[in-house]
A and B are shown apart, each in its own frame.
Chain A
Amino acid sequence: MWETIDNYFQGKLGITEKEAFKARLELDKNFAEEVALYLQTKTHLQEEKLRQRHAEWLPNRQRGKKVVIYQRVVVGIAASLVLIMFGWLFLKKPELTPEQMATEYIEQNFDKQMGVSMSDNADSLAIGKQLAIEGKVNEALKIFDELIKNDSTNFQAKKIAGIVSVKAKYYDKAIKYFDVLGKQQGLQSNAGYFYEALVLLKTNLPNNKIVAKNLLETVVKQNLEGKPEAERILEYW
């Protein structure tokens, strides 16, 4: 009987035998029970295999869940770090060099000085400034030199002469004017050393930088004009 059942489900029976098989299902209870057992055994074994493998694999899945959690934590931390780094790069203030700060200060403040006139020789100083504004730098400097020669205490002439020299890129001259101004005693406010330091930084030569630092430190120590700016530049050194 088993062979007939097996051959039927394997499609090995001929038409007549198939018909006989179907007819016997109705007539022979014992035969039908064997067919039922045949099918049930096959199903059961397949189900059993799945249950076994599923039970074996479940611990893998638990481990997999943990690893996924670890991976997510690691990825989360890494993503946070990347975000922090990018945020820091984008949000932090651009770091200026002392040289850039000096140039920035000169560009923002030196022009303003050209409009002020307070000295005793106001007329000559004003003429010198006007000449400088018109681009006649050498003529202007001649006037300022004359003023200084006539009155060595004329700090305004020294200061404006230095500023005009800077604008004309006569840095050596500017350094000299500001150095003389810086050494001048008895002034309530003296920007000489501070301006000298700025010009030295702007020229961006190695030795000048060392001298500029010393001058800025002197400005801070002696509480001279430009102290807050000098402190800021020294912070970025």
Chain B
Amino acid sequence: MPFFRKTLTDSELIDGILTGGQQQRYYENYLYDQYLYLIRDAVRKHQLDDEDASIVYSDTILTSIENIQRGRFEGRSTIKTYIHQIFSNKCVDVIRKKTTKHSLDYQRVSLQDLLMPIPDNKRSILVDIIKQQDYSQLNNFIKRLGERCQEILKQWSEGFTDEEIAKEYQYTSAGVAQTTRLRCLEKLREFYKAK
């Protein structure tokens, strides 16, 4: 956070984030620098510890960036209001999770959220498997995938559609993007089996 820096308007910031490349990083970092005081506010108002507040803030900025990139930020409010709202919601989530002791570490997306599409009576099957499986190797396995696979899976995890992935990597159709992505998941599965 330089002492004196030109203040960017919301539209300049959005354009910058959509630019791509190194320029995009500049705007993302600018966005991060703008509302750092929220961390102090969370420590003071919500009694979060500094580390939690800090990662909630990073998550807020990351979510905002992703939403801007995907056109989910519709500009109905200022970016400042938007970020304040997301941050506040995430703080409340953390407080709730800490109170109910669901999780001690901050999680961007909880497994419970991902299991939402599964009926209640079937969720325990997946929860049990996840608890039994050793996923500590997952990161290493992902790194063993090719660069393209890693990129595609990352984009998928961030919510990019197959159409968007196809456009990004110049695949002929969304179906090709989906097939490529699922092959990557299959490779991961093979790594696990071979373990």
Contacts and interface: CB of A to CB of B under 8 A. Distances in A.
Given A44-B135, A50-B108, A38 B153 contact: no
Question: Interface centre among B54, B129, B153, by most A CB within 10 Å?
Answer: B129
Nearest to A63: B1
Interface in A71-96: 71
Interface string A208-235: 0000000000000000000000000000
Given A54-B58, A61-B54, A41 B1 contact: no
A167 to B, nearest CB: 65
Contact of A41 (B55, B61, B157): B157
A36 B133 contact: yes
Interface in A7-41: 8-9, 11, 22, 25-26, 32-41
A84 B130 CA distance: 66
Main secondary structure of the interface of A (DSSP, over half): helix
B111 A46 contact: no
Contacts of A33: 129, 133
Contacts of A53: 58, 61-62
Chain B interface, >50% SS class? helix
B194 interface: no
A120 interface: no
Interface string B99-120: 0000000011101001101110
Contacts of A54: 54-55, 58-59
Contacts of B39: 61
B126 interface: yes
A49 B154 contact: yes
Given A41-B157, A42-B156, A60-B29, A6 B1 contact: no
B117 A9 contact: yes
5 contacts: A26-B122, A39-B126, A45-B142, A47-B108, A57-B32
Contact of B1 (A37, A48, A49, A60): A60
B188 interface: yes
B130 to A, nearest CB: 5
A30 to B, nearest CB: 9
Contacts of A40: 111, 130, 133, 135, 138
A49 B62 contact: yes
A64 B119 contact: no
A32 to B, nearest CB: 6
B192 interface: yes
Contacts of A63: 1
B54 A45 contact: no
Nearest to B123: A25
A35 B111 CA distance: 12
B93 interface: no
B122 A42 contact: no
Contacts of B139: 44, 48
Interface in B137-195: 138-139, 142, 153-154, 156-158, 178, 181-182, 185-186, 188-189, 192
Contacts of B118: 22, 25
